[in-house]
Each structure stands twice: as structure tokens, then as C-alpha cells.
Structure 1
Amino acid sequence: MGTFKIEGGYPLSGEITPQGAKNEALQILCAVLLTAEEVTINNIPDIVDVNKLISILEDLGVKIKNKEEGSYSFKADAINLDYLQSDQFKQDGRELRGSIMLVGPLLARFGKGYIPKPGGDKIGRRRLDTHFEGFIKLGGKFRYNKEEHFYGVEAKSLKGTYMLLDEASVTGTANIVMAAVMAEGTTTIYNAACEPYLQQLCKMLNRMGAKISGVGSNLLTIEGVAELGGTEHRMLPDMIEIGSWIGLAAMTRSELTIKDVSWGDLGQIPTVFRKLGIELEQKGDDIYIPEQPDGYKIQKYIDGSILTISDAPWPGLTPDLLSIILVMATQAKGEVLIHQKMFESRLFFVDKLIDMGAKIILCDPHRAVVIGQNFKSALNATTMTSPDIRAGISLLIAALSAKGTSTIHNIEQIDRGYQDIDTRLRAIGAKISRV
């Protein structure tokens, strides 16, 4: 189990460039299975979860070439479907939640897709019903081995249909779209997710020859095609990492420039941070955060009531940033209610922040009230264990603002989502070492 040692309490400065988007990568990489032609993908982040998926694709028989840093070509012209029934796949797929998105493209092209119950962050129930209900409506036959926790969908042919999703699941929508692009006839998906990463997937599929309309809305129409071709695709910068660096600048009272953020794809993120009192400037496609020596003041509603920050499907705020916003609020001037609607275990890391001296009231599994200390009482250094990716980066930000030396164990969780994070943080002045 890896460990970070962090000496906190120092301001940072300089420029930092966000990596390619993890959540986009897990969709885009699975889409290479839809064609026998070569697909080139650029700006792939070098992180644990993405590398695990690339390894699974290679074991499936995909020919992979690393062209340069962050750039790979994929050619799925000799897929070994027997691997899907192997013990190795049952182990590899279980370690990665994103492996569920292999099922859609495999079902579309080969008529069968299998997956063990996937792992990932332990942040509450993350059901797969939306995925499989969509496959069934397209004509797939579902089966489940309870002893091995092994899912399967098979179909001689898929037929387009109308479906109203029970939830606007991003991965569920992506999986169903990848299955539907080669189904016979027209598929209409209502209550579809419309996050920028899903838009990226749809645009890539259209370049490959798919016929998807309504991209960017919650109503997608897909006219099935017989086959897809190759393409080249560049992934967006990771909006969660961008939000992480904004939180880091605020908590350490630092002057930072976040490069090449794709402003048009950030949605509510700049607005929410400004509500928390953070000064942000758009400079070209960069975010400039000036040093804020007097701290930052949380806004109130017009009637004077306490601000509530909550997650919602796009274009609402992504739930992945609530942990970072919660940590930031501990040193703000004012109070805020954090309402995490999607996952019932994501706020449980607040006990570690309370141990550091934060004033937080955990109301229930979904809500926490944070009473900001306006830097009058700094967080205390301590020893912590990272429970998941987003809580892990939030604890790291807390440690960089705290006085003294903190220790964070189980940093493999952070490495799952953040590329070379210790090296990149040292480049802007952070005192962090990997043990």
C-alpha cells in the first residue's frame, strides 16, 4: 500500500495542465471494439483505471500501438471472444467499474457481451439495471450467474426501439448508444445523459459512420448502420481535475493558472466556485486564479438563507466535485450545505476532516453542513487513509493546506484517477513525497 508524505501550509504557484478525462476515456476506449479498422485516440491519461482497460482490450485481441505519450492506435480486427469466459477476464473485469462498457460494443458487433460484477469506488449502490434494461429492449437476452456474479447479454440481432431510461445514467447511456449504433432500424433514447464526455462519444461514433442526432440533449435518435470505420479522436481535459486544482488554489491561497481547460465544456463548474467566493478569470482557454490572501466568502441566497451546493445530471454540477467543494468550505468565510444526492457513502470521509479540526455536521449519508473557519484556525496535520479517488484527492488538498506533516495511505486510490500527481504538484511548489 503506497503512502504520501505531505508538508502542508505553503502557498503554490505556477501553471498546471489537466490530464485527459478519465470518464471519457473509459467510454471512448470501449468504442474501438465497434470496428475492425484502426482508431487513434489522443490525450489518454496515464492512470491506473485507464491502463487496466487498455490491458483488458489487449487480452481481448485488440492490436495496440503506443504512438507517443498519451496517443495510442487500436485495431480490433481479431477479437478473441473466448477470453470473455476465462478466469482471467473474470478477475480483470472485476477490478474496474468501467469494464461494464465493454458489453454494449461487443453485443453490437459480435452478438454477445459478458462482464463480472465490476468494482470501483465504494461510494454506495451503483446499480447496472439501466444498462441491461436497455440491451433487453434492443432484443438482447440477459443472463446472470449468481455464484460467480457474472453477467451476460446475447442476441442474434438487435432491433431499434423507443426507450425511456429510468435514470440519466452516463455509463448506461453510453453503453446503450454503442449497442444501438449497429442495431436494425431506429432507436430513440429519452432521458439520456448529455454530459460533454457522452457528447464526445457520440461525435466520435458519427465520424466512424454512425447516425446519431440530438447530441447534447436528453433525447437521442440513432439510425442503425451495418458497420463502422476508423477515426481519430482527442479527449477533453478532465473537468474533475480542473475542479480539483481550483480547490487546491483556494485552500493553499495560491496563484495558479490551469491551462487548456476547454471552457465551453465546464458547465456550472466556474459558477459554483464563484458562489463559494473564489476569484476566477478566463484568459483565453485558461483559468487564472489570483492569490486570495483575505480568503473567500460563501454567498447566501437572496433571502439570506444558507447556500446549498448539490449535484445533478448535466448541465448540473457533477457529483465528483462535491468532495473537493466540501473540503474548500472548511476554510471559507460562511456556511454551506453540501447535498450529495447520488451516492449514499461519498460523504463518510468527513470524519477524517473533523479529526483535522474542520467544523462539519454530517446530517445524514447525503447531507453535511460545513461551517467555514476563514483560515483563522488552520487544519491540523494527521494520518489518513484514502477511501476512494475523489475523497483521496480531497484529503490531499486538505493536507497541503494543513500546518505540519500529514500522511495519506492507500494512495493507489488517488493514482486510479490522477496522473503523476506528486510530480505535477512538486512542479508548482508542493512539498509531497511518495513513500
Structure 2
Amino acid sequence: MGTFKIEGGHSLSGEITPQGAKNEALQILCAVLLTSEKVTIHNIPDIVDVNKLISLLEDLGVKIQKKGKGSYTFKSDDINLDYLQSDQFKQDGRGLRGSIMLVGPLLARFGKGYIPKPGGDKIGRRRLDTHFEGFIKLGAKFRYNREEYFYGVEAKELKGTYMLLDEASVTGTANILMAAVLAKGQTTIYNAACEPYLQQLCKMLNRMGAKITGVGSNLLEIEGVDSLGGTEHTMLPDMIEIGSWIGLAAMTKSELTIKNVSWDDLGQIPTTFKKLGIQLERRGDDIYIPEHKDGYEIQNYIDGSILTIADAPWPGLTPDLLSIILVVATQAKGELIIHQKMFESRLFFVDKLLDMGSKIILCDPHRAAIIGHDFKSTLKATTMTSPDIRAGVSLLIAALSAKGTSTIHNIEQIDRGYEDIDVRLRAIGAKIDRV
């Protein structure tokens, strides 16, 4: 189990460039299975979860060539479908949440898709019902081996249909979409997710020859086609990492520039941090954050009541940033309520922040009230264990702002979502070592 040693209490400075988007990568990489032609993808993040998925694709028979940092070509012209029934696949697929995204493309092109119950973060239930209900509506037969927790869908032919999703699931929408592009006839998906990464997938599929309209809305229309061709695609920067660096700059009173952020795809993120009193400035496609010498003050509502920040489907705030916002609020002037609606275990890392001296009341599994210190007292260094990707980075930000040397164990969770995070942080002045 890896460990970070962090000497906190130091200001950082300079420029940092966000990696490619993890959540986009897990969709885009699975889409290469929809064609036998070559697909080239750029800005792929070099992180554990993405590298696991690339290895899964290679074991499936996808021919993969690395062209440079973050750039690969994929050719899925000789897929080994027997691998899907192997013990090795049942083991490998279980260790990656994103493996569920393989099912839609495999079902669409080969008439069958299987997956073991996926693993990933221990942040609460993540239902797979939306995915499989969509496949069934397209004409697939569902089967489930309870002893092995092994799911499967099979169909001789998928047929377009109308469906109203029970939740605006991003991965569910993407999976159903990838199945529908090769189905016969027209498919309508209402209550579809519409976040930028899903829009990126739609644009990529359309370049491959798919016929998708309504991109960017919650009503997608897909006219099925017989086959798809190759394409070239560049992934967006990771908006969660961008939010992480904004929070880091504020907590450490650092002057930072975040490069090439794709401002137009950030949605509520800049506005939400401004509500916390954090100054940020748009400079071209960069975000400039000045040194917050006098701290930052949370805005109340117009009637004076305490601000509540909650997650919501796009264009609402992504749930992946609530852990970061919670940590940032611990040193703000004022009070904040965090309402994490989607996952019932994501706020349980606050016990580590309480050990560091923060003032947080965990109201229930979904809500926390934070009373900010206004930097009048600093967080104390401590020893912690990272429970999941986003909580891990939140604890890392807390450690970088705390006085003394902190230890974070189980940093493999952080490595799942952040590329060379210790190297990049040292480049802007952080005192962090991997041991």
C-alpha cells in the first residue's frame, strides 16, 4: 500500500495543466469496439483506472499502439469473444467500475455483452438497472448468475425504441447510446444525461457515421446505421481536476494558473467556487487564481440563510467535486451546508478532517454542515487513509494546507484518478513525497 508524506503550510505558485478527463476516457475507449476500423484518441490520462481499461481492451483482442504521451490508436478487427466468458475476464473486469461500459458496444456489434459486478469506489450504491433496462428495451435478453455476480445481455438484433430513463445516468446513457447507434430503426432516449463528456461521445460517434441528434439536451434521437468507421478524437481536460486545483490554490493561499481548461465546458464549477468567496479570472482559456492573503468568505443567500451546495445532473454541479468543496469550506469565513444527494457513503471521510481540527457536523449520510475557520486556526497534520479517489485528493489538499507533516495511506485510490499528482504538485512548490 503506497503512502504520501506531505509537509503542509507552504504557498505554491506557477502553472498546472489538467490531465485528460477520466470520466470521458471510460466512455470513449469502449466506443472503439463499435468499429473494425482504426480509431485514434488523444489526451488520454495515464491513470490506473484508464490503464486497466486499456489492458482489458487488449485482452479482448483490440490492437493498440501508443503514438506518444496520451495518444493511442485502437483497431478492433479481431475481437476474442471467448475471453468474455473466461475466469480472467471475471477477475479483471471486477476491479474496474468503468468495465460496465464495454457491454453496450459489444452487444451492438457482436450480439452479446457480459460483465462481472464492477468494483471501484466504496461511496455507496451505483445501480446498474438503468443500463440493463435500456438494453432490454432495445430487444436484448438479460441473464444474471447470482453465484458469480455475472451479468449478461444477448440479442440477435437490436431494434430502436422509445425509452424514458428512470435516472439521468451518465454511464447508463452512454452505454445505451452505444448500443442504439447500430440498432435497426430509431431510438429515442428521454431524460438522457447531457454533460460535456456525453456530448463528446455523441460527437465522436457522429464522426464515425452514427446519426445522433439532440446532442447537449436530455432528449436524444438515434437513427440506427449498419456500421461505423474510424475517426480521431481529442478528450477534454478533466473538470474534476480543474476544480481540485482551484480548491488547492484557495486553501494554500497560492497564486496559480490552471492552463487550457476548456472554460465553455465547466458549467457551474467557476460560479460555485465564487460563491465560496474564491476569486478566479478567465485569461483566454486559462483560470488565474490570485493569492488569497485575506482568505475567502462564503456568500449567504439573499435572505441571509446559510448557503447550501448540492449535486445535480448536468448542468448542475457534479457530485465528484463536493468532497473538494467541503474541504475548502473548512477554512472559509462563514458556514456552508453540503448536500450529497447521489451517494450515501461519500461524506464519511469527514472523520479525518475532524481529526485535523475542522468544524463539521455530519447531519446524516447525505448532508454535512461546515463552520469555517477563516484561517484563524490552521488544520493540524495527521495520519489518514484515502477511502476513494475524490476524498483522497480532498485529504491531500487539507494536508497541504495544514501545519506539520501528514501521512496519507492507500494512495492507490488517488492514483486511480490523478496522473503523476505528486510530480505535478512538486513542480509548483508542494513538499510531497511518495514512499
Same-fold call, TM cutoff 0.5: yes
Q: CA deviation at 1:187?
A: 0.1
Q: Deviations over 1:217-249 (max 9, x none)?
A: 000000000000000000000000000000000
Corresponding residue SS for 1:107: helix
Q: CA deviation at 1:302?
A: 0.3
- Alpha-carbon distance in structure 1 between the residues aligned to 2:204 and 2:125: 30
The aligned amino acid for 2:136 is I
In structure 2, the residue matched to 1:247 is: 247
- Alpha-carbon distance in structure 1 between the residues aligned to 2:77 and 2:126: 33
Q: CA deviation at 1:49?
A: 0.1
The alignment status of 1:214 with 2:214, answered yes or no, reads yes
The aligned amino acid for 2:419 is Q
In structure 2, the residue matched to 1:316 is: 316
- Alpha-carbon distance in structure 1 between the residues aligned to 2:125 and 2:308: 24
- Alpha-carbon distance in structure 1 between the residues aligned to 2:91 and 2:403: 42
Q: Deviations over 1:162-187 (max 9, x none)?
A: 00000000000000000000000000
The aligned amino acid for 1:47 is I
Q: Deviations over 1:16-59 (max 9, x none)?
A: 00000000000000000000000000000000000000000000
The aligned runs of 1:45-60 (5 Å cut-off) are: 45-60=45-60
In structure 2, the residue matched to 1:293 is: 293
The aligned runs of 1:27-426 (5 Å cut-off) are: 27-426=27-426
Unaligned 5+ segments in structure 2 are none
- Alpha-carbon distance in structure 1 between the residues aligned to 2:89 and 2:214: 35
Q: Deviations over 1:104-126 (max 9, x none)?
A: 00000000000000001000010
Q: Deviations over 1:185-222 (max 9, x none)?
A: 00000000000000000000000000000000000000
- Alpha-carbon distance in structure 1 between the residues aligned to 2:426 and 2:266: 26
The aligned amino acid for 1:160 is G
- Alpha-carbon distance in structure 1 between the residues aligned to 2:197 and 2:91: 27
Corresponding residue SS for 1:342: coil
Q: CA deviation at 1:408?
A: 0.1
- Alpha-carbon distance in structure 1 between the residues aligned to 2:108 and 2:328: 44
The aligned amino acid for 1:318 is T
The aligned amino acid for 2:194 is C
- Alpha-carbon distance in structure 1 between the residues aligned to 2:91 and 2:193: 29
In structure 1, the residue matched to 2:434 is: 434
- Alpha-carbon distance in structure 2 between the residues aligned to 1:350 and 1:383: 14
- Alpha-carbon distance in structure 2 between the residues aligned to 1:322 and 1:231: 35
In structure 2, the residue matched to 1:5 is: 5
Q: CA deviation at 1:280?
A: 0.5
State the identity %: 87
The aligned amino acid for 2:126 is R
Unaligned 5+ segments in structure 1 are none
Q: CA deviation at 1:401?
A: 0.2
Q: CA deviation at 1:4?
A: 0.1
Q: TM-score, normalised by structure 1?
A: 1.00
Q: Deviations over 1:52-97 (max 9, x none)?
A: 0000000000000000010000000000000000000000000000
Corresponding residue SS for 2:326: helix
Q: Deviations over 1:284-336 (max 9, x none)?
A: 00000000100000000000000000000000000000000000000000000
Q: Deviations over 1:245-265 (max 9, x none)?
A: 000000000000000000000
The aligned amino acid for 1:88 is Q
- Alpha-carbon distance in structure 2 between the residues aligned to 1:152 and 1:314: 29
- Alpha-carbon distance in structure 2 between the residues aligned to 1:291 and 1:405: 23
The aligned amino acid for 1:147 is E
Q: TM-score, normalised by structure 2?
A: 1.00
- Alpha-carbon distance in structure 2 between the residues aligned to 1:68 and 1:359: 46
- Alpha-carbon distance in structure 2 between the residues aligned to 1:333 and 1:214: 43
- Alpha-carbon distance in structure 1 between the residues aligned to 2:164 and 2:97: 24
- Alpha-carbon distance in structure 2 between the residues aligned to 1:86 and 1:277: 53
The aligned amino acid for 1:252 is T
RMSD: 0.2
Q: Deviations over 1:136-176 (max 9, x none)?
A: 00000000000000000000000000000000000000000
The aligned amino acid for 1:384 is M
Q: CA deviation at 1:278?
A: 0.3
The aligned amino acid for 2:103 is V
Runs (4+) off by over 6 Å: none
Corresponding residue SS for 1:303: coil
- Alpha-carbon distance in structure 2 between the residues aligned to 1:229 and 1:384: 48
Corresponding residue SS for 2:78: coil
- Alpha-carbon distance in structure 1 between the residues aligned to 2:98 and 2:203: 20
Corresponding residue SS for 2:177: helix
